[in-house]
């Protein structure tokens, strides 16, 4: 489809209005809900140049499940000689590297005055999680330094809970140049590292929770991914009800505005290109996964445009299905039926 079919002209003065005019939504009162998820940041500063004794104290007080995972799979995955007895010495050897002091200083600069706010943000999100999914155990959060090995991962923690580990050094885009660390690493592409900051940290953690709740798509077609990813975004919006769309979609504000203005044209593109029933990963990947663009669309179009439309379909489906709550939604696995019952039909912007 020609880019002429897309309305991509914006008045700069209206941009902030488009971004701020979010759809009204009912946010439940969760002030009376208590949560028991912990926020552990002891391993964020594990490589501070404070000597082996302080490192040993951190290890001694650590959750054994997380500690074993951190030592043997994150920091020393190929060193089979690491034991509980020598781990502190090995970590202290890493901490003695002058480069580590610079990283440690940056972590302190970025997080020292943010930890309380981050904990509050997580606990608030967990209250919404408990409200909508009362049987889902509140996760434990571990903010740590993974030496640039992982940004986030989820694991089975104690007492049937999920543990979510977050590499704090992977949220420092305001302070360091990731591409400069490794120019050949595609994970450090600009469109990705733009979200490597504290503003996106809670959202990225909750992505893992939503993945656990929603599970995989029911099939391999673009439509299946579109519907499933739309469900995930819908749940995410309910767990982070005050997060702006730019955080939820991981778009720039300009990209959010572009998608809102061109919803009909995006829909027409997928119809014209007969992509809904396409199952080739090579043909659909950039429409559902992180990407700087959506092939065939104008340069202003971000990646993951199918997910954006998927959310709009899910909203209409819930709206047109009386009694449909968020838990029931996740049990609906027939993508075609969801699309049909949604009666989704984007309208041209006036």
Whole-prediction pTM: 0.90
Q: Would you give the end-to-end CA distance of the chain in angstroms?
A: 21
Neighbour tally for 79: CB within 10 Å: 10
Here the tokens at position 306 are 């199918």
Residues 268 and 2: beta-carbon distance below 8 Å: no
pLDDT at 159: 84
pLDDT at 20: 40
**Pairing mode of beta strands 152-156, 140-144:** unpaired
pLDDT at 160: 86
Band (pLDDT 50/70/90 cuts) for residue 247 is very high
b/e burial code for range 202-211 (CB count within 10 A of at least 16 → b): bbbbbbbbbe
Band (pLDDT 50/70/90 cuts) for residue 25 is low
User: What pLDDT, in 10s, does the model give residues 123-140?
Assistant: 999 999 999 999 999 999
Predicted confidence (pLDDT) at residue 14 exceeds the cutoff of 80? no
Domain ranges of the chain: 39-213, 215-342
Q: List Cβ neighbours of 321 (8 Å cut-off, separation of 6 or more).
A: 341
Rounded Cα gap, residues 325 and 344, in angstroms? 19
The gap from C-alpha 226 to its chain's centroid, in whole angstroms, comes to: 17
The gap from C-alpha 56 to its chain's centroid, in whole angstroms, comes to: 32
Rounded Cα gap, residues 274 and 277, in angstroms? 7
User: What pLDDT, in 10s, does the model give residues 188-237?
Assistant: 999 999 999 999 999 999 999 999 999 999 999 999 999 999 999 999 99
User: What pLDDT, in 10s, does the model give residues 252-274?
Assistant: 999 999 999 999 999 999 999 99
- Whose tokens are 């040993």? That residue is 56
Band (pLDDT 50/70/90 cuts) for residue 21 is very low
User: What pLDDT, in 10s, does the model give residues 187-197?
Assistant: 999 999 999 99
The gap from C-alpha 32 to its chain's centroid, in whole angstroms, comes to: 27
pLDDT at 132: 98
pLDDT at 350: 62
pLDDT at 152: 99
Rounded Cα gap, residues 37 and 87, in angstroms? 27
H or E segment at 197?
A: none
H-state helical runs in 21-97: 52-60, 64-69, 87-95
The CA-atom distances, in angstroms, between 275 and each of 46, 230, 327 are: 48, 16, 29
User: What pLDDT, in 10s, does the model give residues 66-109?
Assistant: 999 999 999 999 999 999 999 999 999 999 999 999 999 999 99
Measured torsion, CA atoms of residues 117, 207, 174, 108, in degrees rounded to the nearest 10: 50
In terms of Cα–Cα distance, which of 324, 204, 236, 241 is closest to 22? 241
């Amino acid at each position: 489809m020609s880019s002429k079919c897309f309305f991509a002209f914006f008045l700069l003065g209206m941009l902030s209005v488009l971004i701020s005019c979010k759809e009204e939504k009912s946010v439940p009162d969760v002030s009376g809900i208590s949560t028991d998820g912990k926020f552990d940041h002891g391993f964020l500063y594990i490589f501070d140049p404070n000597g082996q004794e302080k490192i040993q104290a951190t290890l001694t007080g650590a959750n054994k499940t997380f500690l074993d995972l951190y030592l043997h799979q994150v920091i020393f995955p190929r060193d089979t000689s690491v034991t509980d007895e020598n781990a502190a010495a090995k970590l202290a050897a890493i901490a003695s590297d002058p480069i580590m002091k610079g990283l440690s200083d940056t972590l302190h600069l970025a997080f020292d005055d943010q930890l309380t706010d981050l904990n509050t943000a997580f606990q608030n999100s967990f209250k919404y999680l408990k409200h909508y999914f009362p049987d889902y155990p509140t996760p434990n959060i571990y903010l740590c330094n993974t030496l640039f090995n992982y940004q986030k991962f989820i694991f089975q923690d104690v007492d049937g809970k999920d543990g979510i580990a977050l590499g704090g050094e992977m949220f420092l885009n305001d302070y360091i140049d990731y591409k400069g660390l490794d120019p050949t690493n595609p994970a450090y592409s600009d469109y990705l590292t733009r979200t490597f900051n504290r503003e996106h940290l809670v959202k990225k953690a909750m992505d893992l929770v939503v993945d656990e709740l929603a599970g995989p798509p029911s099939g391999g077609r673009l439509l299946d991914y579109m519907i499933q990813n739309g469900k995930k975004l819908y749940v995410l919006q309910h767990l982070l009800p005050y997060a702006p769309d730019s955080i939820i979609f991981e778009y720039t504000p300009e990209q959010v505005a572009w998608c809102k203005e061109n919803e009909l044209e995006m829909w027409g593109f997928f119809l014209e290109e007969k992509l809904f029933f396409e199952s080739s990963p090579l043909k659909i990947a950039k429409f559902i996964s992180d990407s700087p663009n959506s092939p065939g669309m104008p340069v202003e179009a971000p990646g993951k445009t199918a997910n954006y439309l998927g959310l709009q379909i899910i909203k209409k489906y819930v709206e047109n299905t009386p009694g449909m709550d968020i838990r029931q939604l996740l049990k609906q696995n027939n993508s075609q039926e969801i699309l049909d019952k949604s009666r989704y039909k984007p309208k041209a912007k006036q």
